[in-house]
Every structure is written in C-alpha cells, then in structure tokens.
Chains A and B, each alone.
Chain A
Amino acid sequence: MTPLYLDANATEPLRPAAREAVLAALDLLGNPSSVHAAGRAARQMLEQARRRIAERFGTSPQEVVFTSGATEANALALHSLGQRRRILAGATEHPAILRAVPGIVTVPVLPDGQVDVAALAAALAEGPPALVCLMAANNETGVLHPLEEIAPLCRKHDALLHVDAVQVAGRLPLDLAALGADSLALSAHKLGGPKGAGALLLRRGLDLSALFTGGGQERGRRGGTEALPAIAGFAAAVAELDLAEGQKLAALRDGIEEGARAIVVGAGAPRLPNTSCLLLPGAPAETQVIALDLAGVQVSAGAACSSGKVTASPVLQAMGLGADAGCAIRVSLPWNAPPDAAQRFLTAYAEMRRRLGC
C-alpha cells in the first residue's frame, strides 16, 4: 500500500507541470545576467516567471524579488522594511519571522489562534511607526488572521504590514493589492513547486535594501545568480493553482474532523481548507506520529524545521493549551490527496487510539 502523505504544510508534492518546467530550465545553459544568446534565453524564462507570479498575486513584475525561499523572503522583509521601525509580530508566527531579527515584540493571539486585534491596536498606538508581521494562515493550525481588519489598522498608524503568505498561496485567494499589505513572502515548495525558490512581493514603489549584496541582480535587492530551474518550476506551479482544489480538500478535512472525535485546535476560527490540528489530551504527539508512520500515514507533530526535535508546539502554547500543546498532530492534505484520504486516515487513527488507549 502506498504511504498516505498528509504533511502538505511541510512541503507539497511537486506538480507535474512544475517538474517539466524545472527539467526544461535545467537544460538551458545560460546565466540570466549574461548578455549573449544563452543568457538572453535564460533571462526570458526568468522574466516570464516573474510576470506570471506578479499577475497571480496582485503586484507588478518589477516588484517581485526572487529569493531562495520563504525564510529568506521573510528575513529580507524584516531587515529592510524593519529598519528604524518597531517590529510587531503575532505570537504564533513562524520562527523565520520571530527569529529573523532581534528585538521583535510579539502580539498575543486569542484562544482560537487569531491575533488579538485589540492588543495589536493598542501596541500600534503606543509608539513610533511599526512593521507588523502576520502570517495569512498558520502552518500548524491553518488558522487565518483577520487581515482585512488589520491592514486598515496598520495604515491608520503608519505601520507597514508584511504578510507571510506561504501557507495560504494557492489554497485561498491571495492578492497583495486587494489585501492592502506592503509585502508578501511566498515559497515555491509550499504550493507544489520545487524547493529552492521563493519570493518577496512588494507594494509598488516600496524601497527595499538587499540582505545579500553584490552582483546587482533583482534590481539590486538580492544579489546572486537566480535559481532559474527552481524559479521556472515555481511559476509553473503557480499557473496550475486552482482554488477548486481547496473546496475538494475542505470536504476531506471535514470528514477527518467529524470522524476523528478529537479536539480540533482553532476550530472556532476561519481556517485553511486543508489543515487539521487534532489534539488528544495525554497522548504525546511524537508517539502518535510514529504510530501513524508505521501504519503508512505521514503526518507531523508541528513544523518540520526544528531538526527532528519533537517538543510541545510553541504555536499551541501561545494559544493557551498548556500541557496539551505537546499532544496535537498536524494533518495537512496535499493538492493531490486521494479521494479516500479521510477514510484511510481515520482507519489508521482509530487503530492508533485503540493501541494507545486514548
């Protein structure tokens, strides 16, 4: 039986169109900065990718800065846009935000995982202009922050708004201009593209200084030869995005949550269509994940980054779950989840609960 992959928030399976674009780009030999024929062909592919991504997410091509991924895109935004500003970030942000620069002030979240807008408003009012960093959707719980309320609040207080949109891109509508944000971080491999590319999208006219200097690529905002194969795959994956996929996944997700009879973290808040954070008090997440892995079901105990350490999730702790923060698993459906994904998951989950006696 093929394993059932339900860890899309760690990485999405590569879309076939993205794979083809990667392989085509690998066959192209020029450096996009070279002016000869081979270089121009590479440049053309790069700029086509840039246009496609700009168009899809609501900015102009010259405001797309390609990076190695979302960690770099977030770091670039915080280093550059955060200069001479206070940085306010939600307590459940990804470590790529919370650890990007020293001195970040966190804003608490409510028990359902959404940022406490009143606390954010108070923080904005009490000091000089800030950079506000909030993720569109949380990677562990799928909870969406109310950005439509937050963007006007930021404008009112002359704050810039940076949105880590990694988990939302491709799963729900996303448009920088419509959102009223100043910048968006994207990752190719979280939307079915290859690892090794991401982007920082900027509001038109926003200045950005480089984190990696030298070479002058990306209009001086990011030095280094662009990772053309990964970028070409990124754009091809973006072209394939279909929000109808989300509706299909939402049905599977609902099936999982109805059948699991577990606590669904963040259930009261608007969430991503593909993510369930299932909590069983008293059952360590690590034990659950290992048991499911042995049964051929691949889920995770939280974010994939922290080098295999399974500890109580800081995201769930910030939501006030206390000791139970170590007892939740993340089930995240990939774009190509099979129709029987919920049923297969529930069979393995029930068996695991029977064996663990929880």
Chain B
Amino acid sequence: MAAVNRPIYLDNHATTPLDSRVLAAMRPWWEENFANPHSVEHALGRAAEEAVETARRHVAALIGAEAREIIFTSGATEANNLAIKGAARFAAAQGDARRRIITVCTEHKCVLESVRDLQAEGFEPVFLPVEPDGMLEAETLRQALAEAPTLLVSVMAVNNEIGVVQDLPALAALAKEAGALFHTDAAQAAGRVPLDVGAVPIDLMSLSAHKIYGPKGVGALYVRRRPRVRLMPLLSGGGQERGLRSGTLPAPLLVGFGEAARIAAAEGLLDAGRIAAQRDRLLAALSAAVPGLRVNGAAEHRVAGNLNITFPGGVSAQTMLARLQDLCVSTGSACSSAEVEPSYVLRAIGLPEAEAAATLRIGIGRFTSPADVDRAASLLTDAWRHALSETQDAAE
C-alpha cells in the first residue's frame, strides 16, 4: 500500500484506507445515478433506494442483525450520541424513574461526553475504572448495577487506543439481568472481532464505515427490535430511517459502507490472521532493537492490529514523531491527537505521566505489508535511539 511518496500508514484506528473494491462499488453512484433515495416517485430514486437497502442488509449481516434494525447515521459519533442521549431521553419522557447511566472511563470521548451531557438533564453518570490491563471487570459492573436502578450501560467493544477487547457477552448479560439497556461502541471492533447481536444481548451498537475500509461520512446504529428498544431522535424532520434519523441518505457513501461491511464479514477472520502476523513481526523486531519496551493493554484480549507501546529511557513520543515523517503513527486517539496532555486512557490504566508521554499507538491494517512493518520497525528504532540520545544529552 505504501506507494511512492506515500508514508507508511500504521494508524488504522484513526481511519482506514478505502478498499479499492469499495471504491468500485461506489463509482456508479457517483457517476451515473445521483438520485435522492427518498424520491420513490421516479425510477432513478427507486434504484437508489434499492441500493441503500442492499447496503443495509450487508451492514446488518456483519453483526447478525436484521436489516430493519440498522439506522444509518453520519458516523459512529452520531450513533453514540443517538444511542445514549436517545435512550435516556426516551425513557425519561415515558416517566421512567431510573437515572443511572454507566460507562467506562476508557471509552471514546463522544461516549464520555454524551453521558456527561445527560448530567445536566438530571441523569446520574457513572464512569467505571478498568484494570491495569484495560479490561473492565465484570464484578466492577455488577457492583455499580447493584447500587441504583440503571437505565443504560455503555461499554466499547474494542478500545481505540490500547486495543483491548471487552468481554461483551458477560457484561451485556449483567446489564440485562439488572434490567438495563446495553450499548456498545463497536467502531473499532466491527470487521476485526466477531460481533453477533443474535448471540449477545446487545440492545444498541454503533458502527463506522471509515474504520472498516469504507468512506468517511457514514455509520450506523443497530437498534434491537425484539424486545424493541425505543429512542428519542436527535434529528427530526423528513422522517427518514423510521423517524429515528431524518435527513437525505447519502446513497453513494452508504453503498460503500455496505460493500465494506460485506468484505469485512467475508474476510475479517482472514484479515485478522494476517494482521496478527504483521503485528508479531513488528513487535519481535522492535523488542529486539529496543530492550525494555512495554506493550500496554491485555495481550490475550486484544484486537489483532493494535500495538500500544511505551518506549523506555524516558524518551518523548513527540520527539520520536517529529523524526517519523515517513511513518504515520499517533500518540492516541486522532480526535485529541493535537492536544499535548497525555492520553486519559493510558492514565486510566495507571501509566505515570512520563510513561504515557513516551507511548505510541500503532494500528496495523488490511493493507499493511511485511515490508511496511520491517521499515516501520527500523524507523521507530531509529527515532527511539535519537530521542534517547536527546534525553541523555539533556540530562548531562
């Protein structure tokens, strides 16, 4: 994938490159039929509507849902906002007395902020801690559920910084037992780990197209129908998406999302095996060259493409990045990557500030080649040695 003049891209948590098959699927919808998929009065509109419904079936199939349980949104941030605020507001409007909303302190910012926003509306946000390996203990959730009647539990499937895979079957079952709704932000999980809303009692699940080699600008919220989960919409108007999300559907982008979901369902496991091999290759090379590096987050419950590495010797990740012009990696989530303060996820797993500031997130993806990781290992090693010498110079 590293074409001439293109840096090596190892930041597949921030966004993934578009799969060429996704582009091919979208092309006719950019080049031939531009119709509004809601214009069912004419032939062009009906064709666009059919294409959108095919895409909906592909997205549904990726997570074991029915097509009519998929509500298209502009992305995972909107889906998370809609799930959390929509469920809370609907329940409150129905006179539900429960106010507790439980989430985890390592969630994506849009989940944390959606939950926090609800505090102003009289809800009681609870932010659960995680273990040093990034995992949420079932017992921690059980206690929080026992303390007060709980409306909603939101736990991400795969963390966007440290890649840990939460035990959704156990956590969702606990929420269910307590009568609470269970939402999961699966933006980082879809296509990478198996997700099945038929087997796990998940009520709401957020998805993003651009994290599965699809286009930016679309995502989805799975909303369970049996038993039916009710939401108050954030966007009302034309009444699209069963009244849960108004606005003209971007048919070409959704066709791309559908194709990306179809490929993910068919090839996700193959991808994961190949990606894990690249990850192991990178880690082996780095471990040999950088004695004392540490990988953050549970090793056994981890998405294949993620490495979150603290470099030894008191180096600064920013200094390393400044030397890594040909390699795209990051210090944390893209949304906040311009911020200088260290990642709250790393703080939540107990990293001291100096170690958090010496940490890089690496995200290997479908198009990462062995040559890419070899080159990345040597670039990272070089950047670390350089940063280390600067640290030592400063100390002398």
Contact = CB atoms under 8 A, between A and B. Distances in A.
Contacts of B108: 214-215
B184 to A, nearest CB: 16
A74 B34 CA distance: 23
Contact of B237 (A29, A74, A194, A214): A74
A202 interface: no
B328 A230 contact: no
Interface stretch (A173-181, A218-226, A254-262): A218-226
Contacts of B252: 194-196
A22 B81 contact: no
A280 interface: no
Contacts of A228: 216-217
Contacts, number: 273
A328 to B, nearest CB: 13
Contacts of B111: 214
A11 B37 CA distance: 10
Interface string B54-84: 0000000000000000000111111011000
A35 B330 contact: yes
A68 B40 CA distance: 22
Interface stretch (B14-22, B264-272, B386-394): B14-22
A69 B208 CA distance: 17
B247 A68 contact: yes
B31 interface: yes
A233 to B, nearest CB: 9
Contacts of A212: 74, 77-78, 81, 110, 234
Interface string A160-189: 000000000000000000000000000101
B207 to A, nearest CB: 13
B377 to A, nearest CB: 17
B235 A72 contact: yes
A37 B7 contact: yes
A306 B110 CA distance: 30
B249 A195 contact: yes
B134 interface: no
A61 interface: no
A11 B236 contact: no
A10 B247 contact: no
B140 interface: no
B109 interface: yes
B336 A216 contact: yes
Interface residues of A, number: 74
A214 B77 contact: yes
B321 interface: yes
Contacts of B80: 214
A94 interface: yes
A31 interface: yes
Contacts of B42: 3, 7, 289, 293, 298-300
B15 A300 contact: no
Contacts of B249: 195
A95 B246 contact: yes
A33 interface: yes
B115 to A, nearest CB: 10
B238 A306 contact: yes
A187 B35 CA distance: 15
Interface in B80-111: 80-81, 108-111
A46 to B, nearest CB: 10
B18 A26 contact: yes
A252 to B, nearest CB: 19
A196 B334 contact: no
The winner among A19, A74, A304 for most chain B CB atoms within 10 A is A304
A315 interface: no
A217 interface: yes
Contacts of B43: 3, 293, 298
A290 interface: yes
A26 B255 CA distance: 14
Contacts of B215: 26, 227, 229
A223 B39 contact: no
Given A26-B18, A33-B334, A75 B44 contact: no
Interface string A11-34: 111100001001100110111011
Contacts of B307: none
B74 A217 contact: no
Given A213-B110, A214-B110, A229-B217, A37 B328 contact: yes
A36 interface: yes
B119 interface: no
Contacts of A70: 247
A356 to B, nearest CB: 16
Contacts of A23: 23, 30
Interface centre among A23, A31, A72, A95 (most CB of B within 10 A): A31
Contacts of B327: 36
B384 interface: no
A96 interface: yes
B279 interface: no
A263 interface: no
B253 interface: yes
23 contacts: A10-B38, A12-B34, A19-B30, A19-B31, A26-B18, A26-B215, A29-B18, A31-B334, A39-B334, A69-B247, A71-B246, A71-B247, A94-B237, A95-B246, A213-B117, A214-B108, A215-B108, A229-B217, A293-B43, A298-B43, A298-B44, A303-B238, A305-B237
Interface of B: 7, 9, 11, 14-18, 23, 26, 30-31, 34-36, 38-45, 73-78, 80-81, 108-114, 116-117, 208, 210, 215-218, 234-240, 246-253, 321, 324-330, 334-338
Given A194-B252, A307-B239, 10 more contacts: A26-B215, A30-B11, A33-B335, A35-B321, A68-B250, A95-B236, A211-B81, A212-B74, A212-B234, A214-B80
Question: Closest 7 A-B residue pairs measured CB to CB?
Answer: A214-B110, A305-B238, A227-B217, A196-B250, A96-B237, A224-B77, A68-B74
